[in-house]
Chains A and B, each alone.
Chain A
Amino acid sequence: MTDPSRAPERFRSRGFDAASFFFSGVTGIATAIILGILAIILLNITWHGWDGISLRFIVSGTDQDMFDVNKAGVLPMIVGTSARVILMTIFVIPVGVITAIHLTEYANPVSIHTRIIRGAVNNLAGVPSIVFGLFGLGFFIGFVGGEMDALFYPDSDEPVWGKPAILWASMTLAVMTLPVVIVATEESLKAIAPGLREASLALGATKLQTVAKVVLPQALPGILTGGILSISRAAGEVAPILFTGAAYYMSGYPTRPTDQFMDLGYHVFILSTQSPNIEQTRPILYATVLVLLLLTFTLNIVAVLVRAKMRRGMRQSH
């Protein structure tokens, strides 16, 4: 009699499936390569940069000779980077959230102008960062700043508003990260059950009341995510601020909107390409990179966690 514990002849596997193995192998290896390279980069930077990071490094300023290991500090860069991204959020979050509200709550999804707005948002997301730098120079500094100078300081020889400044750098970055905020906000608005809007409207609320009192409060986690993601992206960008306000060296801190600022990423760039002795600068360079990386990564992880928690919360309520 046949042994009942053995599968019947026709259902048993026909030997080793080489093709499957190969295919899974290749794709699995590709995934591993990507993760491996990521790990190598992170480990290399952490390994070499860790020693350079000390409390003194983080909280002290640097002087003109920024390549001296003993005197280097990144506080002005941290302040500069933080200041410009915070200033940016003041511009980007209201505009981004309102645009997202229009797209999800008010606009007709199939009409042509909705499609154009969406197309513009997608396009904005793909504009090269250096073009944003040119835009900041040509529009904010040249045009807006120039007109402001003509209006407020017509007799002055030196431009007051029409020069690189933290205000213009922040606004340029706001334009650059607008799509990030819009997409994140839209995502959270779409996740809200439509029944809630119906309930509010059926009670005799206007659309504005419904959006303001029912929809927006629910969308706050998503808006927060978008804000954090935009900050994380903007903090690491250097090309847009090259001509719009980043400074090689400044003795003070940016206190007025017309001031320039120092910046972590820009500093990494300068140290990498213009240090007289790369071996000597190496420790400072690695430490600065590590600080920058810690900043952007922490923000990214926080954003991902907020988003995950928000998604779990949504699932629970129905």
Chain B
Amino acid sequence: MSEPQATTPMTRPTVQNRETETDADADADAVAPLIEVEGLSLHYGDAQALKNISVSIREKVVTAFIGPSGCGKSTLLRCFNRMNDLIDNVRIEGRVAIGGEDIHGPDVDPIELRKQVGMVFQRSNPFPKSIHENIAYALRLHGMRDKDALDQAIETSLKQAALWDEVKDRLHTSALGLSGGQQQRLCIARAIAIKPSILLMDEPASALDPIATARIEDLALELKNDFTIVIVTHNMQQAARISDDTAFFYLGELIEFNATSRIFTNPSHKQTEDYVTGRFG
């Protein structure tokens, strides 16, 4: 297994060698995909942001969405937890199914959906409360009241987010006193505390320095054992380092979706090749 290396823009990023493609295909057949998108189109008013997207996200892997700015990857991500509902003038056609259920179905409660599909944002957004209260807020939303249970769950999630050692002595100080990277890990801890099945990460490290970024990436690799992770990133090296599958978007269309190793070493489309070798974007 070769180690992932940082590369200069003009060469292809190297990637962890994985099982051969046929093995990956076999795996995919055995376990039905968790998120299935079929013919999804999205309009903001008159402008079309997503054009007829069809993709299947596998369970318990890291899937990366890459592409130049404005290509629709964040928009698609936000469809998975119906955060686009909060924007006026949005029109959606097509189908998004999680676990076989159409999430836009008439019976579906977006609030319940978001308890199962968590999200971490580009700019960390901890509440102006204590570290303890940030996570407790999420847990209380879901009915947990018992003080000991709360403390336990908070410790677990902070450990999972690799933040426990740094904050265990100051759980009741303000979350705003943490560094940018710590705040982001707190947001991750908060999101995973309620044990969602899927964790959406919208460019979680783009506002962080390289060291903090590396920690977030390591975290993503560990978390995939327990959560299905979909990560949007404009950093190709990051995608190459941590993801198992990659989807390349351009101008609202899904150009190519495949195992990360294929995308970066032997993409099928010229556009993909141009993007991953840095000729544009």
Question: Which chain A residues border B126 with CB–CB below 8 Å?
Answer: 199
Contact of B121 among A195, A205, A209, A214 (CB under 8 A): A195
Are B121 and A196 in touch, CB under 8 angstroms?
A: no
| A68 interfacial contact with B, CB 8 Å | no
Given contact pairs A195-B123, A218-B128, A201 touches B187 in the complex (Cβ within 8 A): no
Are A196 and B127 in touch, CB under 8 angstroms?
A: yes
Contact of B137 among A108, A195, A201, A213 (CB under 8 A): A213
Complex: chain B residue closest to A209, CB-CB: B141
Interface centre among B88, B111, B190 (most CB of A within 10 A): B111
| B17 interfacial contact with A, CB 8 Å | no
| B131 interfacial contact with A, CB 8 Å | no
Complex: chain A residue closest to B78, CB-CB: A202
Are B125 and A203 in touch, CB under 8 angstroms?
A: no
Contact of B127 among A108, A201, A214 (CB under 8 A): A214
Given contact pairs A195-B121, A317-B176, A202 touches B128 in the complex (Cβ within 8 A): no
How far is A195 from B113 in the complex, measured between Cα atoms in Å? 19
How far is A201 from B87 in the complex, measured between Cα atoms in Å? 13
Interface of A is mostly: helix
Question: Which chain A residues border B114 with CB–CB below 8 Å?
Answer: 201-204
Interface string of B109-148 (1 = CB under 8 A from A): 0011111001101010111100000000110011000000
Question: Which chain A residues border B187 with CB–CB below 8 Å?
Answer: 199
How far is A317 from B175 in the complex, measured between Cα atoms in Å? 10
How far is A316 from B174 in the complex, measured between Cα atoms in Å? 13
Are B127 and A205 in touch, CB under 8 angstroms?
A: no
| A193 interfacial contact with B, CB 8 Å | yes
Are B138 and A203 in touch, CB under 8 angstroms?
A: yes
Are A204 and B125 in touch, CB under 8 angstroms?
A: no
How far is A196 from B142 in the complex, measured between Cα atoms in Å? 18
Given contact pairs A204-B194, A209-B141, A317-B176, A199 touches B111 in the complex (Cβ within 8 A): no
Complex: chain A residue closest to B120, CB-CB: A202
Interface centre among A196, A203, A209 (most CB of B within 10 A): A203
| B81 interfacial contact with A, CB 8 Å | yes
How far is A201 from B187 in the complex, measured between Cα atoms in Å? 13
Question: Which chain B residues border A199 with CB–CB below 8 Å?
Answer: 121, 125-127, 187, 190
Question: Which chain B residues border A280 with CB–CB below 8 Å?
Answer: none
Interface centre among A193, A196, A199, A214 (most CB of B within 10 A): A199
Complex: chain A residue closest to B86, CB-CB: A201
How far is A129 from B85 in the complex, measured between Cα atoms in Å? 44
Interface centre among A108, A202, A213 (most CB of B within 10 A): A202
Least CB distance from B181 to A in Å reads: 16
Question: Which chain A residues border B141 with CB–CB below 8 Å?
Answer: 203-205, 209
Are A202 and B118 in touch, CB under 8 angstroms?
A: yes
Least CB distance from A308 to B in Å reads: 18
Question: Which chain B residues border A203 with CB–CB below 8 Å?
Answer: 114-115, 118, 137-138, 141, 190-191, 194
How far is A125 from B81 in the complex, measured between Cα atoms in Å? 42
| A122 interfacial contact with B, CB 8 Å | no
Question: Which chain A residues border B142 with CB–CB below 8 Å?
Answer: 204
| B24 interfacial contact with A, CB 8 Å | no
| B83 interfacial contact with A, CB 8 Å | yes
Complex: chain B residue closest to A194, CB-CB: B125
Question: Which chain A residues border B176 with CB–CB below 8 Å?
Answer: 316-317
Interface string of A50-72 (1 = CB under 8 A from B): 00000000000000000000000
Given contact pairs A204-B142, A317-B176, A193 touches B125 in the complex (Cβ within 8 A): yes
Least CB distance from A117 to B in Å reads: 18
Least CB distance from A81 to B in Å reads: 37
Contact of B112 among A202, A204, A214, A316 (CB under 8 A): A204
How far is A127 from B221 in the complex, measured between Cα atoms in Å? 64
Interface string of B148-189 (1 = CB under 8 A from A): 000000000000000000000000000010000000000100
Complex: chain A residue closest to B196, CB-CB: A204
Question: Which chain A residues border B191 with CB–CB below 8 Å?
Answer: 202-203
Question: Which chain B residues border A108 with CB–CB below 8 Å?
Answer: 88
Question: Which chain A residues border B190 with CB–CB below 8 Å?
Answer: 199, 203
Question: Which chain B residues border A214 with CB–CB below 8 Å?
Answer: 127, 137
Contact of B83 among A198, A209, A218, A317 (CB under 8 A): A198
What are 17 A-B contacts defined by CB distance under 8 Å?
Answer: A195-B125, A196-B128, A199-B126, A200-B137, A201-B83, A201-B86, A201-B114, A202-B114, A202-B118, A202-B121, A203-B115, A203-B194, A204-B142, A206-B111, A213-B137, A214-B127, A214-B137
Contacts A199-B187, A202-B118, A203-B118 given; 16 further ones with Cβ under 8 A? A108-B88, A195-B125, A196-B125, A196-B127, A196-B128, A200-B127, A201-B86, A202-B81, A202-B83, A202-B121, A203-B115, A203-B141, A203-B191, A204-B114, A204-B142, A205-B141
